[in-house]
Amino acid sequence: MIFYSINLVIFIIYSLFTNTYYQDRRAYFWLILTHLTLLLGLRSSIVGTDTPQYVSFYLAQNSGFNGNGTLVYSALSSVVDHLTNGNYHVFLFILSLATVFCILKSVELFSGDEDLMFLSIYVYLTFYFYFESFNIQRQMLAVSMVMLAMALLSRHHLLGSVIMFVLAIGIHSTAIFAIVGYIVWFIKKSKFTFGVMAVLAALSNLFLANLLNNFSQLFDHYQMYTDAVLVSGGGTLLLGIFLLALVLIAIFITDILDDQAAGFTVFMTAIGAILYIVGMKSQLIIRMADYFAIYSIISIPQMVLAISRRFKNRKLVDLTLVTVVVVVGLAIFYYKLINNLGDIIPYSLNSI
């Protein structure tokens, strides 16, 4: 826990330094990419609940339908195994690099304001999305790729978006559920459509469990999560409430929905928040919620900026809202670390 805390402090210090003194923001991008990739990619095979299974499948080159994963993941595993003579450290590092890069590139493409990147990465770390990759690395890679697919769409690269989305499904088959993002992108963003979307997301709990159950029957690798009940869903519930409250404030007192990209990330964040709330006891639903809630790392800084602009004392409101996000993030970060969610403690480096 101390190790991760020190890394968080280091991240904050050099992030503030680079944000203040580097005119070339690319330096900030590459510093963050290097730091986060090294921490994630150089972990040993015992860091993360599912990491030993990833390593086991990789070493055995288990490419069955419900073994090492879907087509793209299996192909990547096979290529790395061939080129490195079965070195799983390289495989974990490549997965880590791809995941972090897709996230950072998505933030860069979606944001449109480089000054917001620090808060975005802070949310990515402290809301535990980054640390999920220490455990469910294959799914978080798919999450990051779907996010990049939508970021490419926001820049009018439709073909690239579709290709990236298909590749994400080839990494983790659950990514198919994130196709909802394309629907959200193309619908008109308004308070009315937000209300309709919120109701549908809330009601989804009535049929989503059955849908996911049928899905796990096809991909029996996910059967273990279908009946899994989270012992404590309180943290997830509070996170969902916080995200939804911030979304509601932004939608009803600002014009954030007038910006298509910002409106999209807000809608997706809301869907994720609602799924966190209504599905807080289902491990599989929570995992599906990550495909939507991940956009909070972009929407939160945008909502903070939009809300603060509505007040005369803009700087004070901005400082207050950022402070709230920082405190909430730290609370989530330390709560999950103390409970060692994902078994990422103790951290150790790989032994090559």
Residue written as token pair 């990739």: 37
Structure tokens, 127: 């809301």
Cβ–Cβ contacts within 10 Å for residue 180, how many?
19
DSSP code at position 158: H
Give the separation between CA 156 and CA 136, rounded to whole angstroms. 31
Give the separation between CA 181 and CA 265, rounded to whole angstroms. 10
Give the separation between CA 235 and CA 225, rounded to whole angstroms. 19
Residue written as token pair 């390593």: 55
Angle at which helix 2-21 crosses helix 314-338, to 10 degrees, equals: 150
Give the separation between CA 318 and CA 230, rounded to whole angstroms. 35
Q: Do residues 155 and 109 lie in contact, with contact meaning Cβ atoms separated by under 8 Å?
A: yes
Q: Give 23's pLDDT tier (boundaries 50, 70, 90).
A: very low
Give the separation between CA 133 and CA 268, rounded to whole angstroms. 20
Please tell me the predicted confidence (pLDDT) of residue 214: 61
Range from 6-10, 163-167, 301-305 carrying the lowest mean pLDDT: 6-10
Is residue 270 pLDDT above 80, yes or no?
yes
Most confident listed range (10-14, 29-33, 305-309): 305-309
Tell me the average pLDDT across 154-183: 94
What is residue 229's three-state secondary structure?
Answer: strand
Please tell me the predicted confidence (pLDDT) of residue 211: 64
Give the separation between CA 140 and CA 130, rounded to whole angstroms. 8
| Sign of the Cα pseudo-torsion (144, 149, 152, 154, in order) | negative
pLDDT tens-digit readout, 176-221? 989 999 999 999 999 999 999 999 998 877 766 666 666 555 555 5
Give the separation between CA 213 and CA 208, rounded to whole angstroms. 8
Query: How many residues comprise the chain?
Result: 352
Q: Give 22's pLDDT tier (boundaries 50, 70, 90).
A: very low
Please tell me the predicted confidence (pLDDT) of residue 141: 97
Instruction: Please give the mean pLDDT across all residues of the chain.
Output: 85
Give the separation between CA 118 and CA 123, rounded to whole angstroms. 9
Q: Do residues 19 and 118 lie in contact, with contact meaning Cβ atoms separated by under 8 Å?
A: yes
**What are the sequence ranges of the domains in the chain?**
2-338
